[in-house]
Amino acid sequence: MTSKRSERCEARGDIRVEGNASTIYIGGIDKEWKTKPYARYHDPVAMAVVREFTLKPVTESSPACTRNHSVPAFVFSNGGFSGNLYHDYTDVLVPLFLSTHQFKGQVQFLLSGLKPWWVNKFNLFFRQLTKYDILDIDNDKDVHCFPRIVVGATFHKDMGVDPKRSPGHVSVVDFKRALRRAFGLERVAASRGGATGKGKPRLLIISRKNSRRFLNEREMAQAAAAVGFEVRIAEPDQHTDMSTFAQLVNSADVMIGVHGAGLTNMVFLPRGAVLIQVVPFGGLEWLTTVTFKNPAKDMEVTYMDYNVQLEESSLIDQYPRNHQVLTDPYAVHKQGWDALKTAYLDKQNIKMDMDRFKKTLQEALDKLPPA
Inside any domain, residue 197: no
Do residues 138 and 230 share a domain?
A: no
Task: For residue 231, give the CATH number of its domain.
Answer: 3.40.50
Both 125 and 257 in one domain: the answer is no
Q: pLDDT by residue (tens digit) across 146-171?
A: 999 999 999 999 999 999 999 999 99
Q: Which residues of 228-245 are buried (b: 16+ CB within 10 A; e: fewer)?
A: ebbbbebebeeebebeeb
Same-domain check for residues 174 and 238: no
Percent share of the chain, pLDDT over 70: 100
Q: Are residues 131 and 177 in the same domain?
A: yes
283 and 344 fall within a common domain: yes
Say whether both 178 and 48 belong to one domain: yes
Q: Please give the share of the chain, as a percent, with pLDDT higher than 90.
A: 95
Are residues 318 and 228 both part of a single domain? yes
pLDDT digits (tens, 9 = 90+) for 63-108: 999 999 999 999 999 999 999 999 999 999 999 999 999 999 999 9
For residue 3, tell me if it sits in a domain.
no
Same domain, 160 and 207: no
The per-residue DSSP string of 200-238 comes to PPEEEEE--SSSS-BTTHHHHHHHHHHHT-EEEEE---T
185 pLDDT tier (thresholds 50, 70, 90) = very high
Do 309 and 254 share a structural domain? yes
**Is residue 189 situated within a structural domain?**
no
pLDDT in tens, 186-205: 999 999 999 888 999 999 99
CA neighbours closer than 13 Å in the CB half-sphere of residue 364: 30
Q: Does position 237 have pLDDT exceeding 80, yes or no? A: no
Residue 252 within a domain: yes
Residues 326, 311 contacting (CB under 8 angstroms): no
Is 233 among the domain residues? yes
Whether residue 338 lies inside any domain: the answer is: yes
2 pLDDT higher than 90: no
- Note down the domain range covering 337: 202-367
Using 50, 70 and 90 to split pLDDT, how confident is the model at 239? Answer: confident
Same domain flag for 94 and 14: yes
pLDDT digits (tens, 9 = 90+) for 310-336: 999 999 999 999 999 999 999 999 999
Q: Is residue 214 part of a domain?
A: yes
Residue 53 lies in a domain: yes
Query: Is-contact 68 17, C-beta < 8 A?
Result: no
Q: Which of 183, 211, 241 is the last residue of a domain?
A: 183
Count of domains observed in the chain? 2
Cα–Cα distance for residue pair 271/331, rounded to 1 Å: 39
